[in-house]
Amino acid sequence: MKFFVDTADVAAIKELNDLGMVDGVTTNPSIILKSGRDILEVTREICGIVSGPVSAEVVALDAATMISEGRKLAEIAPNITVKVPLTWDGLQACKVLSGEGKMVNVTLCFSVNQAILAAKAGATFISPFIGRLDDINLDGVELISDIRQVYDNYGFDTQILAASIRTVNHVTQCALVGADVMTAPPSVIKAMVNHPLTDSGIAQFMKDWAKTGQKIL
Taking the CA atoms of 112, 125, 127 and 175 in sequence, report the sign of the dihedral they define.
positive
Q: How far is the CB of 164 from ligand G3P (least distance, A)?
A: 3
Q: Please, what's the b/e burial string for 114-144 (b: 16 or more CB within 10 A of its CB; e: otherwise)?
A: bbbbbbebbbbbbbbbbeebbeeeeebbebb
Q: How far is the CB of 26 from ligand G3P (least distance, A)?
A: 5
Among candidate residues 104, 108, 157, 151, the one with its CA nearest the CA of residue 131: 108
Q: Looking at the annotation, which residues are catalytic?
A: 83
The footprint of ligand G3P (CB under 6 A) covers: 6, 26, 28, 129, 131-132, 163-164, 166, 183
For 157, the 3-state DSSP assignment is: coil
Q: How far is the CB of 192 from ligand G3P (least distance, A)?
A: 17
Question: What does the alpha-carbon distance between residue 175 and residue 65 come to, in Å, rounded to a whole number?
Answer: 36
- If the CB atoms of residues 132 and 148 are measured against ligand G3P, the closer one turns out to be 132
- If the CB atoms of residues 71 and 79 are measured against ligand G3P, the closer one turns out to be 79
Question: What does the alpha-carbon distance between residue 30 and residue 112 come to, in Å, rounded to a whole number?
Answer: 25
- If the CB atoms of residues 26 and 98 are measured against ligand G3P, the closer one turns out to be 26
Q: How far is the CB of 91 from ligand G3P (least distance, A)?
A: 19
- If the CB atoms of residues 67 and 181 are measured against ligand G3P, the closer one turns out to be 181
